[in-house]
Amino acid sequence: MATESRNPSSTMTHAELDARAVASAQALAAHVVQAKGHGHGGTAMALAPLSHVLFSRVLRHSPAHPDWPARDRFVLSAGHASLLLYTQLFFTGYGLTLGDLAKSRTLGSKTPGHPEVHHTVGVEMSTGPLGQGVASAVGMAMAARHESAVFTPGSTLLDHTTWVLAGDGCLQEGVSGEASSLAGTLGLDNLVLIWDDNGITIDSGTDETFSEDVRARYRAYGWRVLEIDTPNDLDALEATLRMAAERTGRPTLVALRTVIGSPSAKFGGASAAHAGGFGADELAAVKTTLGFAPDAPLDDLVTPETLAHTRGALTRGEHLHSAWEADLAAWSTADPAAAARWTAFHGGEFNSSALDTVNVGSAGDTIATRKTNGAVLRALQGSVPLWGGSADLAGSTTVEVDGDRFSAANPGGEFIRFGIREHAMAAILNGIALQGPWRPFASTYLVFSDYMRPSIRLGALMGLGAVYVYTHDSVAVGEDGPTHQPVEQIASLRTVPGLDVVRPADSVEVVAAWRRILASPDRPVALALSRQDLPVLESSDTTAAGVTAGGYVRWQHGDGQDLAILATGSEVHLAIDAAALLAEEGISARVVSMPCVEWFAEQSADYRESVLPAALRARVAVEAGRGDAWYRWVGLDGRVVSIEEFGESGSGPEVLRRRGIHLDAVIEAAHAALGASQLKESVGSLAQ
């Protein structure tokens, strides 16, 4: 607890300095937003006491060591209140300046409109889409608990707390409920969710849209619930937050009643406090209330005395970090083998040679790519920091590895059962990846990637190495019908910047793709795999390299200069069958397997030319899904064999044929492309 003793370098008591720090934080938020005419100051003002206590007294962090593995994590799920976080990063010494606060929400600043990880030191996660921070914090807590159990069982060396601050909007979003339910089931007592219960959303009071008993809901999830009804009492805040961090076998919800926009008399408690400035007159009134001159400029809102007080977090952090390093050294001496494993884990060292043991079969064998992928995961277990599970479909997607499930009683468990919570599963993967350095994976059917899409986008934006294992990748799913048959999902996922969408043609390509995936820890991957058995195709010494390049010539007749047939996944063997029949007509065709268009697009122009010569204008693309994006690769003279409508209930082969994915369709498209190309050549010759 803070005391009334005087700071030796100040004429003020600690309590007085704390009060000035809170007042400065509130004035800064109001001033910066008013100066810009946009932004979100109301929440930052109301939560200034809470954030000051958390960062100055409670949070286990060291601003001088922002990557300290055993630090507490703080996630601002209510990311619109970014000024709240930026102000504390400034006050406690993470490198931000008053000028950075003034430049918030401007191009090129260190303080973007919503927090961005890897952009601002001290920001643990990119947030803004409400509820995502809550769900990803669950993933962070899971990964932290798992790491501690795997490397330092019985020790608290790696133990730390994940804190997440959320508003009413976050708790209305379904993803937070899914994740909170799982957190309660798993007994994540290293997780504290602080709920800003201010009763206000953008349009109205929450009484119009959110009348449920949130506390009772979280108790039903299996959480402990603590209350804070005095949001400005710093000592009471500290006492409750310290209690929240205690290990009780349950995650903790701290329900904090606040008044948004406080201490503004005009905007306090109103929806209008959510966004935008309060106006010059009200800003002056707020500054006066807080003890500043009504026209005080930004620099006058933080006195040297106040800043010296808040920068005490640097000294406090050094003590915490030094004590931990001493504990780490003692552990390393007592158990050097375990310490070496942990150091290798954090150093990114792993051995992927186990991929060499995966049985890919022989040419002519038939193996579903989902089965080969399962064999890959089991082969890599223990040698690569992969950790994940499935949304209640492990047996069908074949991703379950040997061992036991992760649980409250077994935090070292090798496999995660996410339950039927696809959206939370994807967000939790983001949290696991952010906690690092695990490469998290999760699996469901491809059609349900739609449930995961917001979290996938956020993971791609953050550059996280999550692996989404999707099986049942086309209408070949068959009898389950159109609700379970993906059509637009592959095309849709390919539009996400920074996401690699990989659709292997056979077991050989699955293994080769994993070599590239493991070597690319900063890119998320959507791996689309077949339910049905696919033929293992003829391979060569260059096949693996071709897969990692994203596209390559898998089969060719003659010089392959008459026609190119591009295909992915289960359609590659169909393309080869078509090319072989065209060869009997004297047509020299090449089949380009393109398991990942993103990888292919980033190759050199010379490589792309070797696979798809510019002069080779007769091209056909074949894929059992929406074909819009393929015109980039086939050009105006090319043809696309695709599926442009939903499927039907029937056997896989029947539905594929009815929707136009069959040999005759590919042959017809090839002739059309050849005809268009030859016509253009003839016209060109006449023009000359």
Catalytic residues, which ones?
A: 422
Distance CA 62, CA 318 (A): 6
14 is in an annotated binding site: no
Query: Is 219 annotated among the ligand-binding residues?
Result: no
Q: Which residue type sits at 47? A: L
Phi and psi torsions of 65, nearest 5°: -130, 70
Residue 198, marked binder? yes
Q: Is 80 annotated as a binding residue?
A: yes
Phi first, then psi: what are they for 527, rounded to 5°? -105, 110
Q: Is 608 annotated as a binding residue?
A: no
In 3-state terms, what secondary structure has residue 639? strand
Burial group, residue 310, by CB count within 10 angstroms (0-12, 13-18, 19+): buried
The torsion region of residue 262 among left (phi > 0), alpha (psi -120 to 50) and beta comes to beta
- How far apart, in whole angstroms, are the C-alpha atoms of residue 170 and residue 228? 19
Which of 238, 119, 222 shows the shortest CA–CA distance to 128?
Answer: 119
Question: What count of Cα atoms within 13 Å lies in the side-chain half-sphere of residue 103?
Answer: 11
- C-alpha closest to that of 309 among 96, 29, 92, 53: 92
Q: ∠ CA(199), CA(202), CA(205), 5° rounding?
A: 30
Q: Is 160 annotated as a binding residue?
A: no
According to the annotation, is 40 in a ligand binding site?
A: yes
Angle made by CA atoms 82, 84, 85, in degrees to the nearest 5: 70
Q: Convert 519-573 into a string of H (helix), E (strand) and C (coil).
A: CCCCCCEEEECCCCCEECCCCCCCHHHHHHCCCEEEEECCCCCCEEEEECHHHHH
484 labeled part of a ligand binding site: yes
Number of separate helices (H) and strands (E) present in the chain: 27, 18
C-alpha–C-alpha distance, residues 169 and 205, integer Å: 11
CA–CA dist 142, 133 (Å, integer): 14
Could you tell me if 383 and 414 are in contact, meaning their C-beta atoms sit under 8 angstroms apart?
A: no
Q: Which residues of 616-640 are buried (b: 16+ CB within 10 A; e: fewer)?
A: bbbbbbbbbbbbebbeebbbebbbb
Check whether 228 is labelled as a binding-site residue: no
DSSP codes, 568-631: -GGGHHHHHHHHHHHHTTT--EEEEE-S-HHHHHTS-HHHHHHHS-TT---EEEE-SS--GGGH
Strand partners, 388: 415, 441
Rounded to whole angstroms, how far apart are CA atoms 20 and 261?
18
Closest CA to 215 of 253, 169, 174, 168: 253
* Residue 430, annotated as binding a ligand: no
**Does the annotation list 200 as a binding residue?**
yes
Using an 8 Å Cβ cutoff, are 282 and 270 in contact?
Answer: no
Q: How many CB atoms lie under 10 A from the CB of residue 3?
A: 9
Tally Cβ neighbours within 10 Å of residue 227: 13
3-state secondary structure 396-437: HHCCCCCCCECCCCCCCCCEEECCCCHHHHHHHHHHHHHHCC
CA–CA distance from 234 to each of 47, 245, 345 (Å)? 11, 17, 40
The four Cα atoms 561, 566, 572, 576 give a dihedral, to 10 degrees, of -20
- Written as six digits, the tokens of 226 are 């603590």
Residue 133 contacts residue 79 (beta carbons within 8 Å): yes
Cβ(70)–Cβ(159) under 8 Å? yes
Distance CA 614, CA 631 (A): 14
Strands 552-556, 589-593: parallel, antiparallel or unpaired by DSSP?
antiparallel
168 is in an annotated binding site: yes
Task: Return binding residues for substrate.
Answer: 40, 274, 370, 396, 472, 480, 484, 531
List binding-site positions: 40, 80, 128-130, 168-169, 198, 200, 274, 370, 396, 448, 472, 480, 484, 531
Annotated binding site for thiamine diphosphate: 80, 128-130, 169, 198, 274, 448
Pick out the residues of the known binding site for Mg(2+): 168, 198, 200
